[in-house]
Chains A and B, each alone.
Chain A
Amino acid sequence: MASLPPKHPVQQGTADAAGGADAHHHPPKGLLRWVLTTNHKEIGTLYLLFSLLMFLIGGVFALVIRAELFQPGLQLVQPEFFNQMTTMHGLIMVFGAVMPAFVGLANWMVPLQIGAPDMALPRLNNFSFWLLPVAFTLLLSTLFMPGGAPNFGWTFYAPLSTTYAPPSTTFFILSLHIAGISSILGAINIIATILNLRAPGMRMMDMTLFVWTWLITAFLLIAVMPVLAGVVTMMLMDINFGTSFFNAGGGGDPVMFQHLFWFFGHPEVYIMILPAFGIVSVIIPTFARKPLFGYASMVYATASIAILSFMVWAHHMFVVGLPLVAELFFMYSTMLIAVPTGVKVFNWVATLFRGSISYEPAMLFAIAFVILFTIGGFSGLMLAISPADFQYHDTYFVVAHFHYVLVPGAIFSIMAAVYYWLPKWTGHYPHLRLSQWHFWLSVIGVNLTFFPMHFSGLAGMPRRIPDYSLQFADFNMVSSIGAFMFGLSQLLFVVIVFMCARGGEKAPAKTWDGAVDLEWTVPSPAPLHTFETPPQYRPAEADH
C-alpha cells in the first residue's frame, strides 16, 4: 500500500504523483520498457496494438468462414473446424478486439480529456493490460489441442459446452477468467480516474461524452464480468468435478445457463457500444463546428440504456419456452430501449443541422456509424417483437443485425477515434487519400457483406451452418465477396497507422479547428507526461 500513489495527485500537481516516478524519468530501454511501463499513453498504445492484432486474427477466422460459405457444399473445411472458427471469431472479436480497443482509447484519452496526469492506478493499469496477451495466447493455443478449439459458438450454451465439449474447454474457461479480471481491473481504474482526477473546476456535467459513456460502461463491466466468471466456473465444475449445474441428467438446468450468460451478455453488448456513442458524440461536434445538441439528454440517455440493459436479457431466449408473462415483459422492456437510443440518433442529426460541416476521415467514419448503426437499431427493434422473433431467431437476420451494430457500429467508431486522435498520438496527420480509400472500401465492403444477410435470414437460413441449401447461394456469394473486400481493406488501415507513426504532415496542438476539448491544449504528439500541473478548467465557449 505504501507504494501506491497519493490519493489526489492533481491537487498536488506533481508528475511524481502519477506513480513510479523514478522509473519514468529513466525508463528501461527496449522491450522491458513496454513490459514495465506504467504510463497511460504507452499502455493505451499497447492496448490498441494488441486489439489491432486480435482484429486481424479474428478477421482471418471470419474469412475462413466466408470462404467456406462462398458456395454450397463443403470445400475448404470440415464442420468441426468450421464451428471452431465461428466460436473463435466471436470470442476474439468481442473480448480481444473491441473491448481492448475501447480500453486503449480510454487509457489514452480519458486522462487527457479530464486534465489528469495519468490513470489513477498506473501499476494496476500495467497488470490489466499484460493479463490480456496471456489470456489470448491461452485461447488461441486451444486450436492446436487434441479435439480442437472450443466449437460451441461464442455464446457457449450448455450442455454443448460442458458434457459435449472438446477437452480444450477448460483452457477456454481459464482464458475467459483472465480476460475478465483484466476487464474488471481496467474498469476500476477508469472509474477511479474519472471520479478523482478531473481538473479543478471540471464538474461531472462538464465531462466529454466519451468520458461519460466510459464511466457508465465501467460500471456495467464491474456489474456483469463477475456473472460471466460465475457461469464459466459452474461450467468448469460440471466438466471436471462432477457437478450438474447445467446437466439435466443430474438435476441441473440448461436454461439457467442461458439466463446467467445473457444477464452478462446483454450489458456486454452495451459495453461494446456505449463508448462508441461517446466517440461519435465528440467527433460530430468537432467537424460540424457546433456544440453537441442535447448534452444533458445524451448523458441521461446513456444512463437509461445502461440501466435498461439489465432488464432485457431474455430477449435472446424468446424460443426457449419462457412463460407468456416473461415473454411479454422482455418484449416491452426491449422495445423501450429504442427510446433513449432514438434520442441519441436525433441529437446527432440535430448537431449536424445548421452546422459547418467538413468531411475529414474521422467524420466520414462517424457519419457512417450513425447511419449504419441506426440500420442495426431498426433490425433490433424488429427482433424485439417476440412473435416475429420466432421467425428471426438464430437466423442470418440476427447475424446481420449484430454485425451492423458491431462492425459499422463499434468498429467504425474505433476507426473514427483512431483517425481523430492519431495526430495527437503521433504528431502527424494520417495520409488523407489513403484514409479516404480505406473509408470507402470499408463502407462498401461492410454493406456488401452484411446487408444480404438480412435477406438470407428472412428466407430461412439458420446461423452457424457450414453448408446451406441452394436458394441461399447468391446472398452468400455476395456476402463472401464483401467480406474479402472489407478484410483486405483493413490491411490498408494498418499501413496508414504505421505510416502515420513514422511521419507525415505535422499536426499542431489544436489539430482540428472545431475541436474544443482539453486534449487539444497539449502539444502533438502528446509528450509522455501531460498535465503535470493540473489545468484550470474553463467550460468551452459553449456552456453545456
Chain B
Amino acid sequence: MRKWHVWMTAGTLLLSGELSLNGKLQAAGWNMPVGVTDISREVHSLHMTIFWICVVIGVVVFGAMFYSLFRYRRSKGAQAAKFHEHTTVEVIWTAIPLLILIGMAVPATATLKKMYDASEADLDVMITGQQWRWQYSYLGEDVNFISSLATPREQISGDQERGENYLLEVDQPLVLPVGKKVRLLMTSDDVIHSWWVPELAVKQDAIPGFVNENWVRINEPGIYRGQCAELCGKDHGFMPVVVQAMEEEEFDAWLAERKSAASEEAAGADREWKLDELMERGEQVYGSICAACHQPNGAGLPPTFPALAGNQALLDDREHHLDTVLNGVAGTPMPGFRTTLSPVELAAVITYERNAWGNDTGDVVQPSEIAEQLAE
C-alpha cells in the first residue's frame, strides 16, 4: 500500500511539474507556441507527447547506462562478465519501440489528414513569394498588395535602438477574419520561399511553377508574426510574415476600404503626373521593392545586381528600361513587375530611376504610357 502511495505522489508531482514547466517554458519563449488555431493546438500536443516519450526512454536508457558506467568501474575492481547475446531481450527491445511508434503514428496521421483538408474555405488568399517580400491577393476581391520588412536599416546596422518587433514587422500585414476557414495558396515568382507563422502552425513552401495549398482558421484576434523559412538569397533573414486577425465585421470594413483605395489608384493612371509627384512616389516604391538588390543609392551589388546610377544602357534607351522593369530579364534574378505593381507605381519608379542619384535625364514616364504598354 505504502509503495503505491509513493508512486502516486511521485506521478502527480511529475505531472504537475510537467504542466508548470511547460507553462514556464512557453512564457519564456523556450518552447513551441500552442498557437491560436485548433490545428496548432493539436500539433503542439503531438510535439509534447513525443517529447515526453523521448524523455521517458532517455531516462530508462541513460539510467541503465550511467548505472553500468558507475557500478562496473574497473578501478573499483569490477570483473567483466562474458555474456554477449540474449535473444529474448533483443526481441523485446525491438518490439517495444515498434509498439511505441505505432502508438505515436496514429494521432499524427489523424492530425495530418485534417491539415491536408483545405476544402470548403470561406476565403481564398494567394500568397506569392518574391525576393524578399510577400505579395497577398484576395482572390475575387480585387485586393492585392505587397508586404515588406518595415524595420529601418538603421536598426539593423545598430545606429538606432532596436524595437520590440525587430525584423518581425512589415509595412502592410496580411489581414484575415477570425473564425473563417481561409485557404492559403502559395507560389513564388523567383526562388523557393517558405511562408511560416508559428502561432498558426502553417509552414508551406512557395515554389515557382507550383501552387501549394494550406489553410487556417484563426480562433483569436491578434497579430501573429513569422518569417520566411527557406533560404531564398541574401535577404532571406529580412522577409517577415505578419498576420493580423480581426473580427469579421472589422475585416469586411477593411476589405471594402482596400477595394476603394485600389479603384482610386486605377483612376490615377489616367491623369497627367508631374515630375515631383512621380519622384516622391517613385522613391517610396524603390525603397520597398528595388533597394534590397540595387541598393538605396542605386550602386547595386555587381556582378549579380547591376548599378542603376549612371547605367548608360538604361538611360540611353528608355524602351529598354521600361521593358526591363515590366518584363524582367530572363536568366537573372530580375523579375518583371507588370503584374505586381500598378501603372502609377511602375511609372513612378521608372521616372525615379531615370532622375535620381545624378541620373538627371529629366525624363518623365506617365502612368498612361505604362497602362498602354500593359494593355498591348
Contact = CB atoms under 8 A, between A and B. Distances in A.
A355 interface: yes
B96 to A, nearest CB: 9
Interface string B77-110: 0111111111001100110011001001100110
B190 interface: yes
Contacts of A471: 29
A353 B72 contact: yes
Nearest to A342: B97
B166 A336 contact: no
Contacts of A319: 194, 203-205, 229
Contacts of B299: none
A321 B61 contact: no
Interface in A520-544: 542, 544
B46 A387 contact: yes
Nearest to A167: B303
Contacts of B207: 248, 254-255, 320-321
Interface string A298-328: 0000000000000000000001110010011
A219 interface: no
Contacts of A393: 194, 203, 229
B84 A291 contact: yes
- Category for how many chain B residues contact A: 35 or more
B65 A349 contact: yes
Contacts of A371: 62, 65
Contact of B168 (A159, A455, A469): A469
Nearest to B206: A321
Nearest to B158: A73
A328 B109 CA distance: 7
B57 interface: yes
B130 interface: no
A357 interface: yes
A88 to B, nearest CB: 14
A291 B104 CA distance: 35
A72 B151 CA distance: 13
Which of A292, A297, A371, A462 has the most chain B CB atoms inside 10 A of its CB?
A462
A12 interface: no
Contacts of B166: 72, 469-470
Given A249-B209, A388-B47, A460-B226, A358 B75 contact: yes
A289 interface: yes
A462 B72 contact: no
Contact of B46 (A290, A367, A388): A388
B54 interface: yes
Nearest to B187: A248
A29 interface: no
Nearest to A461: B227
Contact of B231 (A72, A160, A354): A160
Contacts of B116: 324, 327
Interface string B49-85: 0110010011001101100110011110011111111
A356 B79 contact: yes
A195 interface: no
B46 A321 contact: no
Interface in A126-171: 146-147, 151-153, 157, 159-160, 163-164, 166-167
Interface in A382-435: 382, 385-388, 390-391, 393-395
Contacts of B65: 349, 352, 370-371
Interface stretch (B175-183, B235-243, B272-280, B350-358): B235-243
Contact of A390 (B104, B115, B212): B115
Interface stretch (B8-16, B30-38, B247-255, B311-319): B30-38
Contacts of B363: none
A294 B128 CA distance: 54
Contact of A467 (B75, B109, B112, B156): B156
A225 to B, nearest CB: 24
B264 interface: no
Interface string A465-485: 111111100000000000000
B231 A349 contact: no
B191 interface: yes
Interface residues of A, number: 95
A80 interface: yes
A164 B333 CA distance: 5
Interface string A355-385: 1111000000001001100110010011001
B208 A249 contact: yes
B371 interface: no
B105 A331 contact: yes
Contact of A385 (B74, B108, B301): B108
Interface string A243-278: 000001100111100000000000000000000000
A152 B231 contact: yes
B162 interface: yes
B21 to A, nearest CB: 13
A327 B101 CA distance: 16
Contact of B194 (A324, A349, A394): A394
Nearest to B202: A390
Nearest to A73: B158
Given A73-B162, A394-B230, A147 B209 contact: no
A357 B202 contact: no
A353 B112 contact: no
Contacts of B47: 382, 385, 388, 391
A375 B333 CA distance: 41
Nearest to A161: B191
A460 B97 contact: no
B232 interface: yes
B140 interface: no
A464 B231 contact: yes
A355 B212 contact: no
Nearest to B230: A394
A147 B300 CA distance: 12
A338 interface: yes
Given A152-B231, A327-B112, A471-B29, A290 B80 contact: yes
A182 interface: no
B193 to A, nearest CB: 10
A56 interface: no
B124 interface: no
Contacts of A357: 68-69, 72-74, 78
Contacts of A153: 231
Contacts of B127: none
A390 B111 CA distance: 12
Given A166-B304, A467-B238, A350 B158 contact: no
Contacts of B268: none
Nearest to A347: B90
Contacts of A467: 156, 167, 237-238
Contacts of B168: 469
Contact of B101 (A253, A339, A350, A386): A339
Contacts of A292: 84
Contacts of A470: 162, 164, 166
A304 to B, nearest CB: 10
Nearest to B96: A342
A74 interface: yes
B46 A385 contact: yes
Contact of A339 (B97, B202, B210, B238): B97
A387 B112 contact: yes
Given A255-B207, A468-B167, 5 more contacts: A354-B83, A355-B81, A357-B72, A378-B58, A465-B237
12 contacts: A160-B192, A248-B207, A319-B229, A343-B90, A350-B89, A381-B54, A385-B108, A388-B47, A388-B50, A459-B30, A468-B167, A542-B82
Interface of B: 29-33, 42-43, 46-47, 50-51, 54, 57-58, 61-62, 64-65, 68-69, 72-75, 78-86, 89-90, 93-94, 97-98, 101, 104-105, 108-109, 111-113, 115-116, 131, 155-158, 162, 164-168, 190-192, 194, 196, 198, 201-205, 207-210, 212-213, 226-238, 301, 303-304, 330-333
A-B pairs, 7 with minimum CB distance: A248-B209, A465-B237, A321-B212, A378-B54, A356-B80, A291-B84, A354-B81
